[in-house]
């Protein structure tokens, strides 16, 4: 009984060539010996291979539909074991397993270059308000001697005599499934299809040389550590004078002697004496915008923070700026002369913070402890 090739592939008798090819690809992925080495699966694989050989060929399909033997009518064709005939060529195998046909023909000597990255140190002020910087980069550029061709002046690339310009060579091997034709890059021309008999003496045939260049980089306001600025087309020129990759400039913000950055806010600490914290004062502070006075209100406690709005770093995305947070540290005197000590005792007595019995009002123990430490020279 003749084999029903339509049933083997699981398609209707009126299926289109596209439907037949899709069914074959799906089954080939499932049943290929490299994927499923089971002997029964291998027999099944031979069947779908033979079915596809017949149904994918209009002439053989016509003979089969009329009830004839398409394989004998076509001169045998390898029968059901014709692995190479069933797939047609190596591209069908690649198409079945990877969903696309293998690319044939020589590969281009011209390829895109790699991306490059350098680190740029900037000051806090430059990060806050933006700036421009001149940087020097060492990258590959197009060879001026051969203009990227790779051949010495007066010479040109020649067609490879091994692959005859195809860039690949084919090899036929036999397996239990029949003959298999495989292709691989030509070992003589490395798949380019051409050879360069006389390479350029400047670039040794690569079509590019290394050179130091000076670039001007615009640093936007608000950048931070790790921010990368992309300079399109300023990276490495590709082999054969191909398009250049991109250059990435990674920002590194140098530490500031006064301010610590947290996001777009800046923080700093000012130290004032105990009397200034009690009576209030104004402390001059050099901000990123110039000198300003920080208003210390009477009774300010150590650890209290005073915000100066819009004195921080510019927001990288969107308008406005962060704040400058001033942290106050109250300094308690560690040594007092007799007159100063007497004045503090009199103050404590006037405020009712010291009693002859050594008892203290609730909430005043902390203040007296600090005064006592000052008296004892701590």
**From the annotation, which residues make up the binding site for Zn(2+)?**
143, 146, 160, 163, 186, 189, 200, 203
CA angle 121, 127, 128 (to 5 degrees): 160
Q: What is the DSSP letter of 108?
A: P
Tokens read off for 162: 């091994």
Length of the chain: 378
Instruction: Concatenate the DSSP letters of all residues of 131-196 into one string.
Output: EEEEEEEEEEEE-TTTTTS-BPTT---EE-TTTTTSSEEEEEEEETTEEEEEEEE-TTTTTSSEE-
Which residues neighbour 357 within 8 Å (Cβ) at sequence distance 6 or greater?
none
Instruction: Concatenate the DSSP letters of all residues of 220-277 into one string.
Output: -TT--TT-EEEETT-SPPBGGGBPP--EEEEEEEPPPSS-EEETTEEEEEEEEEHHHH
Return the closest-CA partner of residue 87 out of 56, 127, 129.
56
Residue 284, Cα to own-chain centre: how many angstroms? 45
**Cβ atoms of residues 186 and 281 within 8 Å:** no
- 211 forms bridges with which residues in the sheet? 139
Only one residue has tokens 């490059």, namely 116
Return the closest-CA partner of residue 53 out of 35, 69, 38, 39.
69
Only one residue has tokens 């300094």, namely 331
Residues annotated in a binding site: 143, 146, 160, 163, 186, 189, 200, 203
Query: Using CA atoms, how far apart are residues 37 and 28, in angstroms rounded to an integer?
Result: 13
Burial of 94 (0-12, 13-18, 19+ CB in 10 A): middle
Backbone angles phi, psi at 181, to 5 degrees: -105, 125
Tokens read off for 45: 């694989």
Q: What is the DSSP letter of 332?
A: P
Tokens read off for 39: 């002997």
**Longest CA span, the chain:** 128
């Amino acid at each position: 009984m003749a084999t029903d090739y339509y049933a083997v592939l699981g398609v209707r008798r009126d299926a289109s060539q596209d439907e037949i090819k899709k069914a074959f690809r799906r089954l080939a992925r499932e049943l290929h010996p490299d994927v499923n080495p089971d002997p029964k699966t291998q027999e099944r694989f031979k069947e779908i291979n033979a079915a596809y050989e017949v149904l994918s060929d209009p002439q053989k399909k016509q003979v089969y539909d009329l009830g004839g033997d398409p394989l004998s009518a076509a001169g045998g064709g390898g029968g059901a074991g014709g692995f190479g005939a069933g797939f047609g060529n190596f591209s069908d195998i690649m198409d079945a397993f990877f969903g696309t046909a293998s690319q044939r023909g020589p590969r281009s000597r011209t390829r895109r270059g790699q991306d490059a990255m350098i680190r740029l140190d900037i000051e806090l002020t430059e990060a806050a308000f933006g700036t421009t910087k001149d940087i020097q980069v060492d990258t590959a550029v197009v060879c001026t001697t051969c203009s990227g061709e790779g051949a010495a002046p007066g010479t040109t690339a020649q067609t490879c005599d091994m692959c005859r310009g195809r860039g690949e060579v084919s090899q036929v091997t036999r397996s239990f499934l029949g003959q298999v034709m495989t292709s691989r890059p030509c070992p003589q021309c490395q798949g380019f299809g051409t050879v360069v008999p006389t390479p350029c003496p400047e670039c040794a045939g690569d079509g590019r040389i290394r050179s130091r260049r000076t670039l001007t980089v615009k640093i936007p306001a608000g950048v931070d550590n790790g921010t990368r600025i992309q300079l399109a087309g300023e990276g490495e020129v590709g082999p054969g004078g191909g398009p250049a990759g991109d250059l990435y400039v990674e920002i590194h913000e140098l530490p500031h002697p006064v301010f610590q950055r947290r996001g777009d806010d800046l923080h700093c600490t000012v130290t004032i004496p105990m009397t200034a914290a009690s009576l209030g004062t104004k402390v001059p502070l050099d901000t990123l915008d110039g000198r300003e006075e920080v208003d210390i209100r009477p009774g300010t406690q150590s650890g209290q923070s005073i915000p100066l709005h819009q004195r921080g770093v510019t927001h990288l995305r969107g308008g406005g700026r962060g704040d400058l947070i001033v942290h106050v540290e109250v300094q308690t005197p560690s040594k007092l002369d007799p007159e100063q000590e007497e004045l503090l005792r009199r103050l404590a007595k006037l405020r009712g913070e010291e009693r002859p019995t050594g008892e203290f009002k609730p909430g005043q123990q902390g203040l007296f402890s600090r005064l006592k430490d000052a008296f004892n020279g701590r």
